[in-house]
């Protein structure tokens, strides 16, 4: 029996604090992420769970199946071996429900809380075969997502008390985008577009191709940015946001003239971002136009993110929160 837990008729009776796997409610711990943007929806991860099972277990766990009897039941705890933000508990719970419907999973902490090294984050009860065969897949989900949430929370913490939003990007592992963006939201970040289909972002390569390969007819005073936005406005559904990537103050002016929804300052120096934010704030807008949101991106680190936020940008997109996040060290201790 694991200390502090009693398994009774398939239900957990917790003698320590008890959490909710999917909830974001207050408890004695500080809840880092009070608002989830991408919410966990189990049916959206069915494919990735099946792929994980196929690549790891495939025709069967030949070690466990030949050593462990079918009727052996065991208990286990997920233990934090380093401090960080926990994300992915509902993913692990759903995974084990798919692997063996008779497995019982209970959270000891809530999704999105900070845990310290040595804390138990969840408990599990089920067949030894299910726990042994599913251990690695479950930990891969939990460690990866907790690592992303932890790094995101560090970026969010660095810019306090400023109100700038920390955002993710599309720099995610193929097939993992939904889960990785979910982890960013758990860590207190805000999700950028989910893909190429839900939000227009005119990048420098788009503009270079339009200008140099398609020979768009751009007559002064119309800029290539204004021409591109005009074409898009005629073809996309009303309500879809249009964002444009800018590299110079001249391009920022063109984006303002085009009436875009968001202006991205890409790889600009702090000084240039300051000037760009000032330009956007002081621009004379028509009565029916609102000021676009401003966003900084490119080479954002924990060391410089506060300086970038101090420029007054509305958003900072950070690819590192997904592509450079390390796994949070968590183990499954079975007894």
pLDDT at 122: 98
Active site residue 81: no
Task: Spell out where the chain has E strands.
Answer: 5-8, 11-14, 73-80, 84-85, 104-107, 114-115, 120-127, 165-167, 200-202, 242-246, 262-266, 293-297, 315-317, 330-334
- pLDDT (tens digit per residue) in 71-119: 999 999 999 999 999 999 999 999 999 999 999 999 999 999 999 999 9
Q: Do 61 and 121 contact (CB within 8 A), yes or no?
A: no
Encode pLDDT of 183-217 as tens digits: 999 999 999 999 999 999 999 999 989 888 776 66
**Using CB atoms within 10 A of its CB, is residue 54 exposed (0-12), middle (13-18) or buried (19+)?**
exposed
| 136 part of the active site | yes
DSSP string computed for 280-325: HHH----TT--PPEEEEESS--TTTHHHHHTTT-SEEE-THHHHSP
Distances (CA, A) of 151 to 56, 84, 86, 177, 183: 28, 9, 11, 16, 10
CATH number of 5-154+325-334: 3.90.1170.20
The single residue of 136, 160, 278, 291 carrying the catalytic annotation is 136
CB 4 within 8 A of CB 15: yes
Catalytic residue among 98, 171, 193, 233: 171
| Residue 213: predicted pLDDT | 73
Contact 75, 335 (CB under 8 A): yes
The two structure tokens encoding residue 293: 């949101």
Q: Is 266 a catalytic residue?
A: yes
Q: Which of 203, 278, 281, 289 is catalytic?
A: 203
Beta strand 120-127 with 104-107: parallel, antiparallel or unpaired? antiparallel
pLDDT for 37 equals: 72
Please give the pLDDT value at position 289. Answer: 83
Rounded to an integer, what distance in angstroms lies between the CA atom of residue 138 and that of residue 250? 50
Low-confidence residues of the chain: pLDDT under 70: 1-20, 22-36, 215-219
The tokens describing 148, both together, are 């992303």
**Residue in 111, 245, 295, 314 annotated catalytic:** 245
CATH architecture of 165-323: Alpha-Beta Barrel (3.20)
Does the active-site annotation cover 203? yes
- Map out the domains of the chain as residue ranges: 5-154+325-334, 165-323
Query: What was the pLDDT predicted at 216?
Result: 63
State the number of CA atoms in the 13 A half-sphere of 116 facing the CB.
Answer: 2
| 112-124: b (≥16 Cβ within 10 Å) or e | bbbbeeebbbbbb
Q: Is 88 helix (H, G, I), strand (E, B) or coil?
A: coil
Please report the pLDDT score of residue 214 as a whole number: 72
Percent of the chain whose predicted confidence (pLDDT) is above 90: 81
């Amino acid at each position: 029996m694991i200390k502090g837990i009693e398994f009774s008729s398939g239900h957990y009776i917790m003698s320590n604090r008890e959490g909710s796997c999917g909830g974001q409610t207050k408890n004695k711990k500080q809840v880092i992420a009070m608002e989830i943007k991408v919410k966990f929806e189990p049916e959206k991860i069915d494919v990735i769970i099946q792929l994980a099972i196929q690549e790891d277990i495939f025709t069967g766990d030949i070690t466990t199946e030949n050593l462990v009897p079918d009727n052996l039941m065991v208990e286990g705890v997920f233990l934090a071996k380093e401090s960080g933000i926990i994300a992915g508990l509902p993913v692990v719970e759903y995974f084990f429900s798919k692997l063996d419907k008779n497995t019982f999973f209970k959270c000891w902490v809530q999704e999105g809380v900070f845990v310290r090294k040595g804390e138990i984050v969840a408990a599990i009860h089920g067949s030894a075969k299910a726990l042994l065969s599913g251990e690695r897949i479950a930990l891969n989900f939990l460690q990866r997502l907790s690592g992303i949430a932890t790094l995101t929370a560090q970026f969010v913490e660095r810019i306090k008390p400023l109100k700038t939003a920390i955002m993710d990007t599309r720099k995610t592992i193929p097939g993992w985008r939904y889960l990785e963006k979910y982890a960013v939201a758990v860590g207190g970040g805000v999700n950028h577009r989910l893909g190429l289909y839900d939000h227009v972002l005119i990048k420098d390569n788009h503009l270079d191709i339009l200008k140099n390969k398609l020979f768009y007819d751009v007559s002064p005073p119309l800029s290539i940015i204004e021409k591109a936005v005009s074409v898009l406005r005629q073809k996309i559904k009303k309500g879809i946001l249009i964002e444009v990537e800018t590299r110079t103050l001249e391009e920022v002016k063109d984006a303002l003239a085009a009436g875009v929804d968001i202006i991205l300052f890409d790889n600009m120096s702090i000084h240039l971002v300051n000037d760009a934010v000032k330009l956007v704030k002081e621009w004379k807008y028509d009565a029916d136009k609102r000021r676009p949101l401003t966003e900084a991106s490119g080479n954002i680190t924990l060391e410089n993110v506060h300086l970038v936020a101090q420029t007054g940008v509305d958003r900072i997109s950070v690819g590192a929160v997904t592509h450079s996040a390390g796994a949070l060290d968590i183990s499954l201790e079975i007894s």
